[in-house]
Amino acid sequence: MLIILAFIILFHITSAILLFIASIRNEWWVSQNFSLDLWYYCNTTGCHDIPNSATSDAAYLQTVQATMILATILCCVGFFVFILQLFRLKQGERFVFTAIIQLLSAFCVMTAASIYTAEHLNFKGDKFRNGDYGYAFVVAWVAFPMTLLSGLMYLVLRKRK
């Protein structure tokens, strides 16, 4: 049981690290001349705020930012709730509250990555049209199944001796 518990903790921490990387790094959309993340546009002269990011045309970007931050926060809160439940739950009970928090985190990551994908597939701006998805975008999609599996593991996990 201790090995399973250590594996689940390691899996949860890995999910949180992936969410932090996906939220912070500047590689969601890349080209030879620039890179773009959720907050900044970087080119050879330096990093700048994304043009028109505060307008209604870029409301999708604000939604992606909010859901990625929420997913990261929920994943971290879920870990602390798991640690509390580990010592507070009676024997034989399941970690349902932790599972719900982790599944909400997975839903937020999926929402953010889906919105970003849909907006860049239909992107009409000339400045950022040419490019490819970067590694932080891929990390966000990898974090989704990891947080989902983590939440499902908590649903199945029972506190045993």
CATH number for the domain harbouring residue 13: 1.20.140.150
In a domain, 69, yes or no: yes
CA distances 126 to 13, 23, 48, 80, 122, Å, are 39, 25, 18, 45, 12
In a domain, 161, yes or no: no
The DSSP secondary structure of 117-138, one letter per residue, reads HHHHHT---STT-S-EE-HHHH
- For 89, the 3-state DSSP assignment is coil
Cα distance between residue 51 and residue 109, in whole Å: 24
Domain span at 25? 2-156
Per-residue pLDDT of the chain (161 residues; tens, 9 = 90+): 678 888 889 999 999 999 999 998 878 888 888 787 788 878 878 877 777 767 776 788 889 999 999 999 999 999 999 999 888 888 767 888 999 999 999 999 999 999 988 887 666 555 556 778 888 899 999 999 999 999 998 888 876 65
In a domain, 130, yes or no: yes
Report the residue count for the chain.
161
In a domain, 9, yes or no: yes
In a domain, 19, yes or no: yes
Which of 96, 93, 102, 114 is closest to 74 using CA atoms?
A: 102
Specify the pLDDT at position 95.
Answer: 84
In a domain, 11, yes or no: yes
